[in-house]
Structure 1
């Protein structure tokens, strides 16, 4: 996020690092990503850290309220740590958090946030929306095949295809007939955007239900999945490719990951050879559709809450517009 979290001061985050035995010497806010807040730090032993503060209000897939979100986030970070040491040599492409002196991967911060700490790994990060060249896609598909073959840790949660933000999308569609006053400058434009494409969006929700029903009926086995292996979560460290941001890790079908990486039959064939399972086109389409619908719901959540004309609000509006128009344009 470009903006800093409301109600959380730098001093609060620095104080929380005492649980990890970290005393920052250098400290800098990192305005990257969307949804969480990040800092980089160097401590008295010249170790470099990447500090993340999660906004628990925007982790609804874990459960209701900050308590449920904190519990779910801790399960995800515990899973990442377990995966890092899963093989005899570990899944070395997993960038996992470090534990506190008490063994925690996540600690609550105030009433609605949580902090976790990662080693700051040198490398070239990607960006969401980048197009991966064929060699990089192949390397990522090989990593995913290895991940999907790994025995799931006990902390890994089953993540069904249904998305927790759906009620707020459906509520917004029901309320497009009246102005969305009092939220901020992008609220009523968002209402008009939904009103213009309401029929198409309801049709895509029906399609989602049909495909999700087909997946449940198939009885496809579940594997451990990353959830968001897009270029923005990929770090190029020399010849190595590392995966970041494991807060969406969980048990699902492989297609939850594959749709974000595979580009055509050659990529799917490579995964089938490495992973031992033929990807299902309908499940790929399901997760592609799920991503877009969830994006619409999440961006609406930002814009149907109090906001100003800030860079983050502008980004949410731009992304909402793109997602809605893309959904309406697809057959």
Structure 2
């Protein structure tokens, strides 16, 4: 995120880091990266560098799901997947420390270079990432803490409420950006409703057979001297391989389907790849609509979200 979280001061985050992981951690530096989670850097008295994350977890159930997902990279490494990097346990053995409606996690700083969400892969990088995903998918998912993917579209209920209100010409409830959200939705009501129907029809084809990262785009892969490393595991779930593969295929010219089939011994479904791409867009629309309508004030994050919402809606229309 581009701006620090409202209601979570740096002092509270630093206190959690010192209490759980490193008593000598120095001051925090907010890192304006990613979307959803908030990140900081800090250095301990012994020179160790840490990457600190805070995720919104308003209840015990959401914190438990996040802890399970954040336990996946360690489980993957234990099964031989070296390119999995994630949070480490605190002194009490927990991966998360709760700070009100937030959960703080800490991982060792990873030296390397990450890209951006929309970057395209160089051929060699794309091949290395597909090999990494094939190794991840080969892990016995049942022997890891990964939650089973919920077949329901995240945020569907809130999106349908917004669609109904816009369809009736009623204003959206919320803050100062609710009007801009309604305006963006109004021109794409039919396309979103059609996409929602297609999404619901496609849930019966999903599988729960492998361990997936969920978001293996260039922004979540760090290129290191030892090869690509996957980071940001909050979306780790047991699901079909296409959940990961479509996102790599969308950003490379290599034949991801053929390479994965050679490595994993199974041919990804083009239909499921298309469904996954459509579901990603719908989930983004749902998240942006709900979060933007409720935002108390505009800032750098809401400006980015509003641009993304408009672009994603236009893509659903295309």
Decide which moves more: 259-268 or 115-124: 259-268
The answer on 1:3 being equivalent to 2:3 is: yes
The answer on 1:104 being equivalent to 2:94 is: yes
Structure 2 counterparts to residues 156-235 of structure 1, below 5 A: 156-176=146-166, 177-180=169-172, 182-184=174-176, 186-213=177-204, 215-216=205-206, 220=207, 222-235=209-222
* C-alpha displacement of 1:265: 7.2
Match of 1:138 among 127, 133, 141: 127
Decide which moves more: 165-174 or 231-240: 231-240
Classify the secondary structure of the residue corresponding to 1:70. Answer: helix
The answer on 1:244 being equivalent to 2:234 is: no
* C-alpha displacement of 1:181: 5.8
Distance of aligned partners of 1:163 and 1:182 in 2 relative to their CA distance in 1, 3 Å threshold: closer
Distance of aligned partners of 1:224 and 1:319 in 2 relative to their CA distance in 1, 3 Å threshold: same
Supply the RMSD in Å over aligned alpha carbons: 1.5
Deviations, residues 39-80 of structure 1 (Å, cap 9, x unaligned): 101101100000001122xxxxxxxx5221101001111222
Decide which moves more: 161-170 or 120-129: 161-170
Judge conservation of contact 1:161–1:290 (CA < 8 Å) in 2: no
Aligned length: 312
In structure 1, the partner of 2:37 is 36
Q: Taking structure 2 as the reference length, what is the TM-score of the superposition?
A: 0.94
Give unpaired runs (5+ residues) of structure 2: none
Deviations, residues 158-185 of structure 1 (Å, cap 9, x unaligned): 104422311111111011121236511x
Distance of aligned partners of 1:286 and 1:160 in 2 relative to their CA distance in 1, 3 Å threshold: farther
In structure 2, the partner of 1:15 is 15
Structure 2 counterparts to residues 266-305 of structure 1, below 5 A: 266-305=255-294
CA distance in 2, matches of 1:296, 1:100: 35
* C-alpha displacement of 1:36: 1.2
CA distance in 1, matches of 2:289, 2:208: 33
CA distance in 2, matches of 1:314, 1:80: 33
CA distance in 1, matches of 2:91, 2:20: 6
The answer on 1:80 being equivalent to 2:91 is: no
Deviations, residues 276-299 of structure 1 (Å, cap 9, x unaligned): 110011111111111000000000
Classify the secondary structure of the residue corresponding to 1:232. Answer: helix
Distance of aligned partners of 1:210 and 1:180 in 2 relative to their CA distance in 1, 3 Å threshold: closer
CA distance in 2, matches of 1:207, 1:45: 54
CA distance in 2, matches of 1:276, 1:109: 45
CA distance in 2, matches of 1:221, 1:102: 32
Classify the secondary structure of the residue corresponding to 1:175. Answer: helix
Judge conservation of contact 1:160–1:252 (CA < 8 Å) in 2: no
Classify the secondary structure of the residue corresponding to 2:47. Answer: coil
Give unpaired runs (5+ residues) of structure 1: 57-64
Judge conservation of contact 2:126–2:254 (CA < 8 Å) in 1: no
Deviations, residues 106-126 of structure 1 (Å, cap 9, x unaligned): 11111x100000111111111
* C-alpha displacement of 1:82: 1.5
In structure 1, the partner of 2:315 is 326
